[in-house]
Amino acid sequence: MTPLLEARGIARRFGGLVALDAVDMQVAPGTVHGLIGPNGAGKTTFLNVIAGAFPPSGGSLRLEGGDITALAGDARARLGIRRTFQNLKLFPEMTALHNAAIGLHADGRAGVLSALLRLPAQRREEREIMARAAEALDFVGLAGQAGRLAGTLAYGHRRLLEIARAFAPRPKLLLLDEPAAGLNPTEAVALTALIARIREAGTTVILVEHHMDVVMTVCDRVTVLNYGKHLSTGTPAGIQADPRVIEAYLGQDALAEALAC
Q: Which residues bind other proteins (CB under 8 A)?
A: 51, 53, 72-74, 77-78, 82-83, 85, 89-94, 98, 101-103, 105-106, 108, 110-112, 115-116, 118, 122, 125-126, 129, 165-166, 169
Q: How far is the CB of 118 from other proteins (least distance, A)?
A: 6
Q: For residues 162 and 242, which CB has a smaller minimum distance to other proteins in the complex?
A: 162
Q: How does DSSP assign 176-230, residue by residue?
A: EESTTTT--HHHHHHHHHHHHHHHHTT-EEEEE-S-HHHHHHH-SEEEEEETTEE
Contact 13, 55 (CB under 8 A): no
**Least distance from other proteins to the Cβ atom of residue 91, Å:** 4
Question: Is the separation of the CB atoms in 139 and 55 below 8 Å?
Answer: no
Ramachandran assignment for 238, one of left (phi > 0), alpha (psi -120 to 50 degrees), beta (any other): alpha
Q: How many other CB atoms are there within 10 angstroms of residue 58's CB atom?
A: 15
Considering only CA atoms, which of 221, 215, 175 is closest in space to residue 198?
A: 175
Closest separation in Å from C-beta 51 to other proteins: 6
- Of the pair 108, 202, the CB lying nearest other proteins is at 108
CB atoms within 10 A of CB 9: 13
Give the nearer residue to other proteins in terms of CB position, either 122 or 145. 122
Which residue, 140 or 239, has its beta carbon nearer to other proteins? 140
Residues 6, 103, 177, 261, CA torsion sign: negative
Q: Which is nearer to other proteins, 115 or 260 (CB)?
A: 115
Nearest approach in angstroms of CB 20 to other proteins is 20
Closer residue to other proteins, CB minimum distance, 88 or 196: 88
205 forms bridges with which residues in the sheet? Answer: 32, 174
233: phi then psi, degrees, rounded to nearest 5: -135, 140
Decide if 233 contacts 36 (C-beta within 8 A): no
* Helices H / strands E in the chain, number of each: 11, 10
Shortest CB 158 distance to other proteins, Å:
12
Minimum CB separation of residue 178 from other proteins in Å reads 15
Tally of residues, the chain:
261
**Whole-angstrom Cα distance, residue 124 to residue 197?**
29
User: Of 34 and 103, which has the nearer Cβ to other proteins?
Assistant: 103
Smallest distance, other proteins to C-beta of residue 66, A:
17
